[in-house]
């Protein structure tokens, strides 16, 4: 995969010139080839941490009465003419299309955080482009056929104490919400975020939200509740456009 996190190293025009992208900046259609229905990662956001490779697929539909010879996809942040980052395959062979006049083409991407993501500003909305070439030489290129989110992977912890606790006594529930920092490849606290404190009574399979707590300047959570029954306490974060949801594993508290 070609990987460009452009920043100040390359201008958008220079970076695009270095890529194996079909010529011309605007959408182009030659003949009756069509591309449509692009889906990234099965419709789910792509969450990337600090070290682990993340592999996902991009599919799209291509059609031409003469049949489709090849296809390709492009993922970019910013604008097509001046992107902040641009990902595409090394060659057309990295996109596999089924046979026929209306086909499904599938591209595989592997994101390596240390090489592909150097700026936290790259979290958020990315755009999708697609290209198909027909067997009779016709072709179609669409530079913006959809969007998806690339997100900074998040983690959430919880600890309820004291354990055990007397019925009616105060229980302190702490935790921390962190997310990947692509600039130093560490995890740091996600500040000022609303997080739900939830409880599941022993013998039940359902969590209920007790209150909402905000993370402090270090991403830490802390609140008190009254202990009334045995059960599990956890924190749950619904996520943002730049950060995926996270839910802590429930911490069981014995109430006596």
Average model confidence (pLDDT) across the chain: 90
Helix (H) or strand (E) holding 116: helix 113-116
pLDDT score at 10: 33
- Return the closest-CA partner of residue 177 out of 195, 159, 163, 164: 195
pLDDT score at 11: 32
Structure tokens at 201: 């009574």
pTM of the model: 0.87
Structure tokens at 175: 């935790």
Residue 14 DSSP symbol: H
Question: Do residues 9 and 15 touch, judged by C-beta distance below 8 A?
Answer: no
Tell me the residue length of the chain: 256
Domains (range + CATH), the chain: 2-151 (2.60.40), 154-253 (2.60.40.730)
pLDDT score at 26: 77
pLDDT score at 142: 95
Structure tokens at 256: 């006596």
pLDDT score at 63: 98
Those residues whose C-beta lies under 8 Å from the C-beta of residue 220, and which sit 6 or more positions away, are 174, 175, 176, 189
- Average pLDDT per consecutive 10 residues, the chain (256 residues; last block may be shorter): 45 35 70 96 97 94 97 94 84 81 95 93 96 96 96 98 96 98 97 98 97 98 98 98 98 97
Per-residue pLDDT tens for 137-173? 999 999 999 999 999 999 999 999 999 999 999 999 9
Q: How many other C-beta atoms lie within 10 A of the C-beta of residue 38?
A: 21
Tokens 């993370």 belong to 215
pLDDT score at 18: 36
């Amino acid at each position: 995969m070609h990987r460009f996190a452009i920043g100040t190293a390359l201008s958008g025009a220079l970076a695009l010139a270095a890529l194996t992208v079909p010529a011309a900046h605007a959408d182009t259609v030659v003949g009756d080839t069509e591309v449509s229905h692009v889906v990234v990662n099965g419709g789910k956001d792509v969450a990337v941490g600090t070290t682990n490779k993340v592999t996902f697929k991009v599919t799209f539909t291509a059609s031409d009465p003469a049949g489709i010879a090849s296809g390709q996809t492009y993922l970019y942040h910013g604008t097509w003419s001046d992107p902040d980052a641009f990902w595409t395959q090394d060659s057309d062979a990295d996109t596999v299309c089924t046979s026929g006049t209306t086909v499904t083409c599938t591209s595989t991407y592997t994101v390596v955080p240390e090489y592909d993501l150097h700026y936290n500003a790259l979290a958020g909305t990315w755009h999708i482009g697609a290209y198909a070439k027909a067997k009779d030489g016709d072709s179609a290129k669409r530079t913006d056929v959809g969007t998806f989110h690339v997100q900074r992977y998040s983690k959430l912890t919880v600890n309820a104490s004291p354990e055990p606790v007397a019925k009616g006594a105060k229980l302190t529930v702490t935790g921390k919400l962190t997310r990947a920092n692509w600039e130093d490849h560490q995890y740091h606290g996600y500040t000022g975020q609303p997080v739900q404190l939830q409880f599941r009574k022993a013998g039940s399979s359902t969590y209920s939200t007790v209150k909402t707590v905000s993370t402090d300047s270090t991403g830490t959570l802390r609140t008190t509740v009254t202990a009334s029954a045995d059960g599990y306490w956890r924190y749950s974060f619904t996520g943002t456009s730049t950060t995926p949801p996270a839910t802590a594993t429930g911490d069981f508290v014995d109430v006596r």
